[in-house]
Amino acid sequence: MASASHYDYLIVGQGLAGSLLAWRLLQQEKRVLVVDDGHATASSMVAAGLINPLAGMRFNHSPFVHEWLAAVEQTYGELAGMAGEPFLQWLDMVRLFRSSEQVRFYERQRARTETADLLGRRLDAEDFPQPVHAPWGGFEQKRTGWVRLPRLLAFMARWLEGKGALRRERLNHDDLVLRDDGIAWKDATARHLVFCDGYRSMHNPWFDWLPFAPDQGEILTLKRNANLPLPDRIINGATWLLPVDEGRFRLGATHYHDRQDNRATEEGKQKLLAGMETLLLHPDALELEKNEAGVRPATADRQPFIGSHPEFQQLHMFNGFGAHGSLTIPWYARRMVEWLSEGKELPKNANIQRYS
Ligand SMILES: Cc1cc2nc3c(=O)[nH]c(=O)nc-3n(C[C@H](O)[C@H](O)[C@H](O)COP(=O)(O)OP(=O)(O)OC[C@H]3O[C@@H](n4cnc5c(N)ncnc54)[C@H](O)[C@@H]3O)c2cc1C
């Protein structure tokens, strides 16, 4: 008979990826232990949690976009029901054109029926409905919003703890022993080990062949300090601004590909504040509350890293969600569970087999 410290799955990392994967596995009555070092490097704790199905300069979309959105609605809704507090907030986005070329990209997307529910009307520069500078005009984007990630992670930590499924400590690779029937780590054994450890997986001795492309970012939290007009939608131009709770706004974000730490810098702050000056008609209405930084677990081909090690079948990866984890992790968590429990094929774009 299995001892109390024998698990089906040991999961490294309780960011959004590890939390949702653990939750889905526990729903299937698997024995799960999540190990997290107190979110020491969690990009989920810093992220704005924006849901933007048409990211990118050309407003392109993934073929999975509607499945992602359905999973977003269902997953965060289910979790809100469990927690008794909302995590997902739908809020329309106003997208600012940055060139006449982008107007053409918009018109092209607008002509497509499959994105009709995602694109709203075009907005003229002369009569712009938000207090922002919009020299090229813009358009409304639908089915956008944001997720209160720190609150979701705090709830998930309590819920996992209540099930005896969370240990708050760092897992060192040297302490792992690979066995024929799984792995051993300290006093625990497990049939499977899944790495959901964010960008730190790039230093993982079993998966160092995966081309991670970590993308450090800084983000500001601002507070309203004057009763001047400020946007009431998500504004997305060269800089984006998100109205959140209690008169606060998030402003982001920078991208540094040569940094791998969560230290916010004066340079990053000044860059973002300059972006705010260019964006808002009344930048003085906001004062800085805090600046933060984190490292997005991004990948060279901008697709997630999901799947099993080609040689050590007890080792798996559920990672690489880059700048869009809030939108994509709910759907990929289901695909990962189907792969682990039923051997159902993973989406090819995300399967790490593409590199092995
Ligand atoms: C500035 C910024 C803005 C962002 N904005 C958005 C946004 O608006 N929308 C969006 O969707 N995404 C955004 N992101 C990206 C988002 O954070 C990620 O897509 C997503 O949160 C990744 O979740 P994860 O669980 O894979 O990784 P993480 O959240 O990084 O979680 C990994 C966890 O594993 C732990 N860990 C790592 N190694 C170990 C170990 N050896 N032992 C124990 N624990 C370990 C870490 O401490 C952490 O808690 C942003 C990121 C940044 C930095």
Q: Whose Cα sits closest to atom 41 in ligand 1? A: 171
Domains of the chain: 6-47+150-212+301-355 (3.50.50.60), 91-143+213-296 (3.30.9.10)
pLDDT in tens, 128-147: 999 999 999 999 999 999 99
Among the residue ranges 2-11, 145-154, 215-224, the one predicted with the least confidence is 2-11
Is 122's pLDDT higher than 60?
yes
Contact 243, 230 (CB under 8 A): yes
Q: Please indicate, yes or no, whether the overall pTM of this predicted structure exceeds 0.85.
A: yes
| Nearest atom in ligand 1 to 13's CA | 34
Dihedral sign for Cα 175, 176, 178, 183, please. positive
DSSP state of 187: T
If you count them, how many residues does the chain have?
A: 356
Tell me the two tokens of residue 168: 């708050």
* Sequence-ordered list of residues with C-beta below 8 angstroms from that of 277, at least 6 positions apart, any chain: 283
CA neighbor of 17 nearest in space, from 194, 196, 149, 214: 196
Contact 156, 168 (CB under 8 A): no
CA 4 to chain CA mean position, Å: 33
Strands 240-243 and 248-252: antiparallel
Contact 307, 295 (CB under 8 A): no
Is 55's pLDDT higher than 90?
no
pLDDT score recorded for residue 11: 98
Q: How confident is the model at residue 317 (pLDDT cuts 50, 70, 90)?
A: very high
Is 3's pLDDT higher than 80?
no
Is 235's pLDDT higher than 50?
yes
Tell me the two tokens of residue 333: 């968590």
Please give the distance, rounded to the nearest whole angstrom, from the Cα atom of residue 229 to the centre of ligand 1: 33
3-class SS at 313?
Answer: coil
pLDDT in tens, 223-234: 999 999 999 999
Please give the distance, rounded to the nearest whole angstrom, from the Cα atom of residue 300 to the centre of ligand 1: 17
Give CA–CA dist 36/298, Å, rounded. Answer: 20
Contact 42, 295 (CB under 8 A): no
pLDDT in tens, 278-296: 999 999 999 999 999 999 9
pLDDT top residue among 3 and 248 = 248
Average pLDDT over every residue of 26-33 = 98
pLDDT score recorded for residue 335: 98
CA neighbor of 49 nearest in space, from 142, 154, 119, 144: 144
Please give the distance, rounded to the nearest whole angstrom, from the Cα atom of residue 194 to the centre of ligand 1: 15
Q: Whose Cα sits closest to atom 35 in ligand 1? A: 13
pLDDT score recorded for residue 114: 87
* Sequence-ordered list of residues with C-beta below 8 angstroms from that of 283, at least 6 positions apart, any chain: 276, 277
pLDDT score recorded for residue 356: 85
| Nearest atom in ligand 1 to 254's CA | 1
Please give the distance, rounded to the nearest whole angstrom, from the Cα atom of residue 277 to the centre of ligand 1: 28
pLDDT score recorded for residue 2: 43
Q: Is the CB of 18 under 6 A from ligand 1?
A: yes
Q: How confident is the model at residue 1 (pLDDT cuts 50, 70, 90)?
A: very low
Q: How confident is the model at residue 246 (pLDDT cuts 50, 70, 90)?
A: confident
| Nearest atom in ligand 1 to 215's CA | 53
Give CA–CA dist 305/47, Å, rounded. Answer: 19
CA neighbor of 201 nearest in space, from 74, 18, 6: 18
